[in-house]
Amino acid sequence: MVRGTEEALKEHPCYSKEAHDKFARMHVPVAPRCNIQCNYCNRKYDCSNESRPGVTSEVLSPEEAVEKIRAVKEKIPYLSVIGIAGPGDPLANEETFRTLELVSREFPDLTLCVSTNGLALPHNAQRLYDLGVRFLTVTMNASDPAVGEMIYGKVQWEGKTYSGKEGAEMLLRNQLAGIEKCVELGMMVKINIVMVPGINDEHIPELVKKVKALGVYIVNILPLIPVEGTKFSGRRAPTPEERKKLMDACELDVRMMRHCRQCRADAIGLLGEDRSSEFMKMGSCQAGCGPSSDRSGPSLVKVDEKGPLRIAVATSGGKIVDSGFGNAPRFDVYEISEDNAEFLRTVVVDTSKNVAGSSHKEHIENIADLLDDCSAIIVKEIGPMPAKLLEKRGKTVRIYSGEVGRSAFGLRGL
Ligand code: CLF
Ligand code: SF4
């Protein structure tokens, strides 16, 4: 039985601003294939320190997804939404439908949410509805094919590949027809728009008016994330001021989402706290530094044997272990000896160098260089790539969330 949509709306962290810091969503990455190519998308890079749509550290089968939901639900009782948002297009993957079926059967209390490019939506709207989906997002960046052709590469539809204006026309036509059908069925439709300065920024108000007329519930204008290896890698993201100005103007026509976190395809937790690395598949993290407490667990930092030991802690303010390895703005280095921890220095990291793609790898290597005199690193989370790199360098990694103190260091007593 599907939960009442009104009731579910109040607990949906993306659709309701009031819910965003109280209820969690979990994305299950069961959909690796895509049927179009957006000029800003590159799904090649895979690292849990890289947070943007299209990125995941693992792809799950529908059965694995259900198993993972069981584990997450136990740890996160305020989980309210299961979303399928990639890493490709959910509707281009039959696994999406199998997952929805299994999840709705086992967890009728959870709300189902799907995010799609909309190409296959007219053919699947009824199917999604019948499986219990009431919250649907379409990422739509243009309503004019002349603008659309600058954003999309190829479009694959019914065994043929289209490009240029023809491809954009096909996609936009299906998006509009799909949105109309979903609204008619009574779904809460959200439109995500990627704002690309110089390409669609001036066209967005017209697009918003068009989708508003179709009866969408809310619109979300996201900034372009320029990603290496894509056509738009050299383009700039809009400034926060430019985006705010556009959102303010469009808000006169439609409800505007302003709390989006541009989540990964495997994001888990409240919108502001991604806990996906805590629940990674056993063995997916090469250094064995997976979740902290609910599986076999990371190796604890050993402070005996070889005398003084230097440990780096990922902490933004010095008091709490609150950062991932790749996105930490600062590490505090401690020397541990004879059951004591003595503060040595703070290492400040230039996070502006943390750009998706190969520069991201350089960023990770630079941090490892800065912490080269440390034998162990304590972080809130870490992805497979940095974990492997640290393992190669002989470092011990500990995943820990909580205060920087004796327990974080693995020391006994208070
Ligand atoms: Fe996921 Fe999207 Fe559903 Fe939310 S995300 S499928 S509607 S449950 Fe939310 Fe993440 Fe922004 Fe998406 S913050 S990227 S809007
Ligand atoms: Fe990437 Fe999504 Fe565009 Fe497909 S629809 S190319 S997964 S951004």
Tell me the whole-structure pTM to 2 decimals. 0.71
Regarding whether 128 and 44 lie in a shared domain, the answer is yes
Same domain flag for 217 and 268: yes
Q: Are residues 191 and 88 in the same domain?
A: yes
Q: From the CB of 140, is ligand 2 less than 6 Å away?
A: no
- The closest ligand to the CA of 192 turns out to be 1
Which helix H or strand E contains 6, and what residues bound it?
Answer: helix 5-10
User: In the chain, pLDDT over 70 holds for what percent of residues?
Assistant: 87
- Residue 383's pLDDT is what? 78
For helices 121-130 and 164-185, the axis angle rounded to 10 degrees is 30
Range of 109-113, 276-280, 371-375, 404-408 with top mean pLDDT: 109-113
Quote the pLDDT of residue 289: 27
**Predicted pLDDT of residue 42:** 82
Q: Assess if residue 324 is contained within a domain.
A: yes
Q: Provide the pLDDT for residue 294.
A: 29
Give the residue among 246, 197, 200, 185 at the shortest CA–CA distance from 220.
246
Query: 139 and 181 in one domain?
Result: yes
Q: Are 366 and 256 in contact (CB under 8 A)?
A: no
Choice among 48-62, 287-301, 332-346, 390-404 with the minimum mean pLDDT? 287-301
Query: Which of 281, 309, 338 lies at the terminal end of a domain, its last residue?
Result: 281
Handedness of CA 38, 40, 41, 42 (dihedral sign): positive
Residue whose CA is at the smallest distance from ligand 1 atom 10: 263
Q: How far is CA 362 from CA 87, 200, 332, 368, in A?
A: 24, 32, 21, 10
- Output the pLDDT for position 283: 32
Lowest mean pLDDT among 63-67, 130-134, 180-184, 375-379: 375-379
CB 37 less than 6 A from any atom of ligand 2: yes
Q: What is the CATH number of the domain that holds 342?
A: 3.30.420.130
Q: Which of 250, 281, 312 is the last residue of a domain?
A: 281
Burial class (CB in 10 A: 0-12, 13-18, 19+), 77: exposed
367 CA from centroid of ligand 2 (Å): 31
Does residue 121's CB lie within 6 angstroms of at least one atom of ligand 2?
Answer: no
Residue range 192-210: mean pLDDT, rounded:
96
Asked if residue 76 lies in contact with residue 269, where contact means CB atoms within 8 angstroms, the answer is yes
Q: What is the mean pLDDT of residues 375-402?
A: 85
* Residue at 90 is within a domain: yes
Burial environment of residue 338 by CB neighbours within 10 A (0 to 12, 13 to 18, 19 or more): exposed
Report how far ligand 1's centroid is from the alpha carbon of 272 (Å).
Answer: 12
Phi then psi dihedrals of residue 388, to 5 deg: -65, -40
Statement: residue 301 has pLDDT above 70: no
* Residues 50 and 86 reside in one and the same domain: yes
Which of 33, 46, 89 for mutating ligand 2's site (highest number of atoms within 8 Å of CB)? Answer: 89
Q: Is residue 414 part of a domain?
A: no
Higher per-residue confidence, 173 vs 305: 173
Q: Whose CA is nearest to atom 2 of ligand 1?
A: 115
Residue-level pLDDT at 241: 94
Number of domains comprising the chain: 2
Among the listed ranges 21-30, 214-223, 373-382, which one has the minimum average pLDDT value?
373-382
Do 344 and 271 share a domain, yes or no?
no
Same domain assignment for residues 299 and 374: yes
What is the H or E stretch that residue 313 is in?
A: strand 309-314
Is residue 286, in this structure, part of any structural domain at all?
A: no
Pocket test for ligand 1, best of 17, 21, 25, 111 (most atoms within 8 A of CB): 25
Identify the domain containing residue 125 by its residue range. Answer: 5-281
**Is ligand 1 within 6 A of the CB of residue 315?**
no
Q: What is the pLDDT of residue 94?
A: 96
Write phi, then psi, for 53 (nearest 5 degrees): -60, 150
- Tell me if 91 CB under 6 Å of ligand 1: no
Atom of ligand 1 nearest to the CA of 53: 14
Mean of pLDDT over the chain: 85
Ligand 2 site, residue 336, Cβ cutoff 6 A: no
pLDDT given at position 369: 93
Does the beta carbon of 142 lie inside 6 Å of ligand 1?
Answer: no
Q: Would you state the pLDDT for residue 210? A: 96
pLDDT > 80? residue 130: yes
Contact 192, 204 (CB under 8 A): no
What's the CATH number where 132 sits? 3.20.20.70
**Which amino acid does the sequence have at 116?**
T
Is the pLDDT at 296 greater than 60? The verdict is no
Q: Which of 281, 310, 328 is the last residue of a domain?
A: 281
- Count of C-beta atoms within a 10 Å radius of residue 365: 13
Residues 301 and 269 placed together within one structural domain of the fold: no
Asked whether residue 287 is domain-assigned, the answer is no
Closest atom of ligand 2 relative to the 41 alpha carbon: 1
Same domain, 263 and 158: yes
Distance 34 CA to ligand 2 centre (A): 6
Q: Is 263's pLDDT higher than 90?
A: no
Ligand 1: atom nearest CA of 261 is 13
* Terminal-to-terminal C-alpha distance of the chain: 50
Q: What is the pLDDT of residue 106?
A: 96
Q: What confidence score (pLDDT) does residue 286 get?
A: 27
212 lies in some domain: yes
Reported as a pLDDT band with limits 50, 70 and 90, residue 152 is very high
Question: Does any domain span residue 242?
Answer: yes
Asked if the model's pLDDT at residue 220 lies above 70, the reply is: yes
Low-confidence winner among 156-160, 239-243, 340-344, 371-375 (lowest mean pLDDT) = 340-344
Q: Are residues 266 and 316 in the same domain?
A: no
Torsion sign (Cα): 218, 219, 225, 229: positive
Q: Are residues 296 and 350 in the same domain?
A: yes
Ligand located closest to 230 CA: 2
Is residue 370 domain-resident?
yes
Q: Do residues 88 and 209 both lie within one domain? A: yes
Distance (Å) from CA 389 to ligand 1 centroid: 31
Of residues 398 and 138, more confidence is placed in 138
